[in-house]
Structure 1
Amino acid sequence: MNRRRPQWPLQNVFSTVALTLAVSCAAHASPAEDHHRGRDGDHGRHNEVEHVLLISFDGLHEQDVARCIASNSCPNIALLAKAGTTYTDAHTPGLSDSFPGLAALVTGGSPKSAGLFYDVSYDRTLYAPSDSTCSGPQGWNVVFDETTGIDAENGGALTHLDGGGGFNPQAIPHAKIGGVCKPVYPHDYVKTNTVFEVVKQNFPSARTAWADKHAWGYDWLNGPSGRGVDDLMRTEINSIDPATGTDYTDVYSHTEKFDDFHVTAIINQIDGKTSKGDAAGSVPAVLGTNFQTLSVAQKAPVAKGGGYLDASFTPGPQVAAAIAYIDASLGRMVAELKQRGLYQSTAIIVTSKHGQSPTDHSKLVKNGDTLSKLLESSNYFDPDGNIGQANTKSGNLNDGTGLTGTGFIQTDDVGLVWLRDQSQLAAAVKTLKDNLSCNAPGICADGPQAYILYGRPLAARFGDPAGGRTPDIIVQPNPGVIYTTSTKKDEEHGGNAPDDSHLGLVVYMPGAPGAGREVSERVQTTQVAPTILRVLGLDPKLLNAVVMEGTQPLPGFDARRF
């Protein structure tokens, strides 16, 4: 049941009484009494959730959480776990790129419903950014990353932390909608609504906030309305730091500087300000952020102190330092909640968009992008690799004159394949199955945990490729395989290898019984979104993806009185 809060003036927002989360031995007022006491601004009651703080420490595995708590190296995460619930078997919904990983947390859906497979993907129904009349060929390589900001226009340098202050028109494709050719911004691209939109629609006086790694690519968090996030902080991790002349991903200690911008933003918002520190009037009902420091440390070559030392997730020097950093950052945010008297009315969810693979360095295999080469040489794509937005008619990188109708392939530790000609599916699958070994031209998918997904099984899990958005083929290589020869990173994410998908998840709910418990039941990160709505007193079914996929709230928060 969707029970709306009374809408009183903003100056009384801290008096808002949400619905009682915990079922405990103590006596509680009836729902009608809760409603009345909230309207009158009673501050004497506790254990009520008025705000949700969602934090993604990208790369955080369940094993990282367990190890750092056991070794006393993450005291703030440990305190949160002691006061809350730790889910020891939480997983991403099939793909682990940042887009589907975050979409799971805020829409309650997998790529099948949200339509987000990667920040760089393909859609057969779209027209090029330059085709404002939708009269040319269809099929566009959709790139919603650091190049989505105006700084990247005509391949320009990313000189501003805010991405230049606007969208790069060369990154925005077109679609014919109702016979009219319209631009498709990231918020138009996501297929389902978000928790931010639901909160805004049901609590009109409430504010929402988020901060992430790409200034304009993450516009999709606003949802199809385009207005879900009041304070969407525009920070670009690939922008050039004028103090160093490099972007913020060169080394984990530099990434800390970027993540500190987000810590400051959250503290400002807890103080009732905007992310920039301007007056706002109220604390957001839902706020959160993303951290990249741990992910950068995990990817760094083991020979340079990155990654892990063994199969038991023993952190190397960079990962150990990164875990200490994210833990201290969590401590700063929680301390501010306590300082402002909001800790007992704020649910805190610590998790990750994705893990990183392989943590066991002995499993690392970098044979190059054999998957793309095999499909290109077999004429399923242009044999010279002339596909996608980066391969332009002008010769200038990512200037909006990219090639249309070429199909596309995205590879990291997974392969997402949109064939140029979908009628070649059977032939392409046969080619892949005939070359499964790790010997060139093999694709290194010959182990028991590897698979090639296509046809009905793929459609059931991710949607029908005939609709234009879903890949025709998904190749999951052996765990440890990264389709690259780059010496800059020894780990990657995006696929469904065990280290990609098994994440840390710690949930603190004020006043919830059973503090310090562990839940070993397998859960998905899609269950976070309906849990957020449930604890705020809203019906999880207000999320489109929850209805489409039947997503349930996390165990422990699905049978309480609201």
Structure 2
Amino acid sequence: MTIRKSMRAQGAIGAAAILLAALHAQSAVASDERDSHHDHEAVKHVLLISFDGLHEQDVARCIGSNTCPNLALLASSGTTYSNAHTPGLSDSFPGLAALVTGGSPKSAGLFYDVSYDRTLYAPSDTHCTGKQGWNVVFDETTGIDAVNGGALTHLNGGGTFNPQAIPHALVNGVCQPVYPHNYLKTNTVFEVIKQNVKGGRTAWADKHAWGYDWLNGPSGTGVDDLSRTEINSIDPATNTNYTDLYTHTEQFDNLHVQSVIDEIDGKDSTGQSSVAVPTVFGTNFQTLSVAEKATVATGGGYLDASFTPGPQVANAITYLDSSLGRIVSELKQRNLYSSTAIIVTAKHGQSPTDHSKLVKNGDTLTKLLEANNYLDPNGNFGQANTKSGNLNDGTGLVDTGFVQTDDVGLIWLRDQRQLSAVVRTLKDNLTCNAPGICADGPQAYVLYGPQLAGRFGDPARGRTPDIVIQPNPGVIYTSSQAKDEEHGGNAPDDSHLGLVVYMPHAHHAGQTVNEPVLTTQVAPTILRMLDLNPDLLHSVAIEGTRPLPGFGREHF
């Protein structure tokens, strides 16, 4: 039985690798064979919008039923990519990094907002003389409000970084702090614009005030106007954060809508100062993601395997489309619509949309690792063990390894010499029966060794997990009763995304491209739209990422 399971898991790994290679190859051929047929000189601005949780099926359904008229208008004037996928992982960090760097986690180095790096030292180790190996947490606790586990009382996260969240690295013999922008391994479209467009300006708004500092890129200065808004901050009107209900999340997303409108109007994101309209700008929306995660019993999620939206999701899509309409209307009002390209997509989808596939057996993966002493049996590892009990208070354990689970499992072993033993234990427990990890289906896999290194980079270098577990689609490693969907992995529902690209003066408006593409192709497309060399992006040069089909001119 164990032998058959192993063969099935390895077959799934091979299939996944073949799919990824096919996506790269097909997109490259399409890009080489198609002429652009666009008036590139007309584009002066590119607006990138991420409706987190937006599946391709959501786009097709809402356009077909006329429940997203504003998105439908963009699609009728642009190109819809019906077969767009994330590059292997679908958490917010790798998902957004794909869109703005053109790279997968292999080159960009972002695997999750909570991850691990064997080369880093603790925040308190300012001389880099202690043990290496730190559980990096760049989320709502990265702001100063979270010092010593403090309440997140300010919308801007407190106005600066939480020093307890910033690890250290030894660089050329000097111990230096590692801010989120230092953690990103390659540059961003924002940095390229700043360095190559005279007077070029950039802006972005996202869900964490300080964790998303990595958008600035290694230079630390890529985004001129990075809106510092924290979705997990406490709204004084309700005494809850903005993720408790999708209608409350709408209020948070409205802040970003207003920021974009202000930027279109020639102001900064606060509306207080007059500045140039950004060359590249955009925002992230969380409303749909929150509505999808909400339990089916409370009206969240989807009603069936055909992506029929439940009440919350239906209302969320209506809200997003209305917000898109407000933004497009402002572009037209300011005579910018004919010179602004608009890209609507998502960092990630959500899984499972088919509630009948939902499995919540608890975090069986972590429990199995702990039970076999691959992690501390009592959970005393990394940021799971701090003096205050709060993440990012600076007192987490060093050199312990880490496991990150949602609808995927990322494992950084505390002792890499145990790899073979750990893999053997995992393969012996693939079923959904206790203590199994529910990874015994044809779409599940245990990825490690040369296949993992080829896809995500060499774990020996410190950042890449030693093992990636893709459980059966529908499995969420949690016992939470508050959510019925999650994201982060490579299940079909969280990796297959909506992607609509509007290009002013396009000759082939209203087309649908069915060829497989990756969301990494968005970044070089943005540069191509602005007549810049996509290879100015380091990840694009490293991974050979091509622009989306229709934007593949070989000459400038």
TM over 0.5: yes
Q: Which runs of 5+ in 2 are unaligned?
A: 1-34
Q: CA deviation at 1:279?
A: 2.3
Which residue in the other structure is 1:531 paired with? Answer: 525
Matched, 1:470 2:484: no
Partner amino acid for 2:37? V
Kept in 2, the 8 Å contact 1:355–1:500? The answer is yes
Note the C-alpha offset of 1:157. 0.3
Matched with 2:395 is 401
Change beyond 3 A, Cα 1:47–1:323: farther
**Displacement of 1:278:** 1.9
In structure 1, what is the equivalent of residue 486 of structure 2?
Answer: 492
Aligned partners of 1:366 and 1:481 also within 8 Å:
yes
Query: Shift of residue 513 of structure 1?
Result: 1.1
Moved more, 279-288 or 70-79: 279-288
Answer yes or no: is the 8 Å Cα contact 1:47–1:512 preserved in 2: no
- Counterpart residue type for residue 507 of structure 2: P
Contact 2:535 2:541 in 1 (8 A): yes
Which amino acid in structure 2 is aligned with residue 449 of structure 1? Q
Is residue 188 of structure 1 aligned with residue 182 of structure 2?
yes
Q: Which residue of the other structure, out of 42, 63, 66, is the alignment partner of 2:60? A: 66
**Cα displacement (A) at 1:206:** 1.2
Residues 57 and 290 in structure 1, CA contact (< 8 A), matched pair in contact too: yes
Task: Select which of 15, 18, 23 maps to 2:37.
Answer: 23
1:336, 1:484 → 2: CA distance? 43
Task: Look up the match of 1:126.
Answer: 120
**How big is each residue's C-alpha offset from its partner over 1:163-201, in whole Å with a ceiling of 9 and x where there is no partner?**
000000000000000000000000000000000000000
Indicate the SS of the match to 2:221.
coil
* DSSP 3-state at the match of 2:252: helix
Does the CA contact (< 8 Å) of 1:47 and 1:511 recur in 2? no
Q: Which moved more, 1:539-548 or 1:393-402?
A: 393-402
Q: 1:336 to 1:22 in 2, by over 3 A?
A: farther
- Listed as ranges, the matches of 1:89-238 within 5 Å are 89-238=83-232
Match of 2:450 among 435, 442, 456: 456
Alignment counterpart, residue 382 of structure 1, candidates 376, 379, 387:
376
CA contact (8 A) 2:166 2:179 kept: yes
Shift of 1:391: 1.1
**Partner residue in 2 for 1:36:** none
Q: Which residue of 2 aligns with 1:506?
A: 500
- 1:444 aligns with 438
Cα distance in 2, alignment partners of residues 513 and 376 from structure 1: 58
CA contact (8 A) 1:546 1:552 kept: yes
Q: Is the 8 A contact 1:101 1:353 kept in 2?
A: yes
Specify the SS of the correspondent of 1:121.
strand
Alignment of 1:388-427 (within 5 A): 388-393=382-387, 395=389, 397-427=391-421
Q: Distance in 2 between matches of 1:257 and 1:493?
A: 23
Secondary structure, counterpart of 1:526 in structure 2: helix
TM-score (norm 1): 0.92
Partner SS, residue 349 of structure 1: strand
Distance 2:554 2:267 in 1: 33
- Deviation per CA, 1:305-332: give whole Å up to 9, x if none: 0000000000000000000000000000
SS in 1 for 2:382: coil
- Name the % identity: 78
- Report what 1:239 is aligned to: 233
1:335-358 CA-to-partner distances (Å, cap 9, x unmatched) read 000000000000000000000000
- The residue identity in structure 1 corresponding to 2:545 is T
Q: Which structure features the higher share of helix residues?
A: 2
Contact 2:45–2:340 under 8 Å retained in 1: yes
* Matching residue of 1:49: 43
- SS at the partner of 1:389? helix
Unpaired runs of at least 5, structure 1:
1-20, 29-45
Letter in 1 for 2:424: K
Partner SS, residue 97 of structure 2: helix
Paired AA for residue 23 in structure 1? H
> In the comparison of the two structures, how many residue pairs are matched?
522
**Cα deviations across residues 80-103 of structure 1 (Å, max 9, x unaligned)?**
000000000000000000000000
CA deviation string 1:105-154 (max 9, x = no partner)? 00000000000000000000000000000011000000000000000000
Q: Is 1:331 matched with 2:325?
A: yes
- Kindly indicate whether residue 95 of structure 2 is the aligned counterpart of residue 81 of structure 1: no
Paired residues of 1:153 and 1:399 also in contact (CA < 8 A): yes
* Counterpart secondary structure, 1:430: helix
Query: For each residue in 1:43-86, what CA deviation from the matched residue of structure 2 results, as whole angstroms up to 9, or x when unmatched?
Result: xxx97100000000000000000000000000000000000000
SS in 2 for 1:86: strand
RMSD over equivalenced CA pairs, Å? 1.2
How big is the shift at 1:23?
Answer: 3.1
Q: 1:348 to 1:394 in 2, by over 3 A?
A: closer
| Contact 1:23/1:561 (8 A) holds in 2 | no
Question: Equivalent of 1:483, from 477, 480, 489?
Answer: 477
Q: Distance between the aligned counterparts of 2:515 and 2:106, measured in 1?
A: 23
Instruction: Give secondary structure in 2 for the equivalent of 1:289.
Output: strand
| Structure 2: distance between partners of 1:222 and 1:397 | 24
Deviation for aligned residue 1:432: 0.1
Shift of 1:236: 0.2
The aligned residue for residue 8 of structure 1 is none
Task: Quote the residue 1:301 is aligned against.
Answer: 295
Counterpart Cα distance in 1 of 2:456 and 2:198: 34
Task: Please give the secondary structure, in 1, of the residue aligned with 2:170.
Answer: strand
CA contact (8 A) 1:22 1:513 kept: no
C-alpha contact (below 8 Å) 1:124/1:468 kept by paired residues = yes
